[in-house]
Chain A
Amino acid sequence: AQKITQTQPGMFVQEKEAVTLDCTYDTSDQSYGLFWYKQPSSGEMIFLIYQGSYDEQNATEGRYSLNFQKARKSANLVISASQLGDSAMYFCAMREFPLNFGNEKLTFGTGTRLTIIP
């Protein structure tokens, strides 16, 4: 079963509008972290925002905020006032508490390609 699901393969949004990128996750752990990464056309992975499973407040970083709904197991990324430079692939990822203090891997979704229209 997929642990991270991003149901929007692609989105087109008008510049200056807000955009929500969906992410749902599946875990039986109580402790986990959720991450969003941006991948521009140049290919690098840019960390955007983090939300911990025990965090009571939704995370915010500048124009990025994470709409965390624990009971629904969703962690949607909200970008306010979108800009042309926001056009990129966006990945949601989860880190679960490592078993036996071992692997700290990130499990990624399949990504959403966001295109901002002028």
Chain B
Amino acid sequence: DIQMTQSPSTLSASVGDRVTVTCRASQSISSWLAWYQQKPGKAPKLLMYKAATLESGVPSRFSGGGSGTEFTLTISSLQPDDFATYFCQQYSHYPWTFGQGTKVEIK
């Protein structure tokens, strides 16, 4: 199975900060990577797919990059609504696997 490793596990930041979350795959997944945002008590929400394609309706302050085994999710200017947990997920090979999550909290 492909292991997905996110870093950091927790990120403390302030409104307006630029933040980056990293996701590493244990083997190449080309660009078959998605990012999700989850708030407490809610279902995950798709932010990005194919590593760098923004889902419809997602603010442009979110961006994604990378290919192969190294990927990033960047929020250019953190907004109050962005404090949440973020997960990466590979859909290159079954079984699909998720990263363990990165909690973005208020500094």
Q: A and B: partners?
A: no
Residues of A whose CB lies within 8 Å of any CB of B are: none
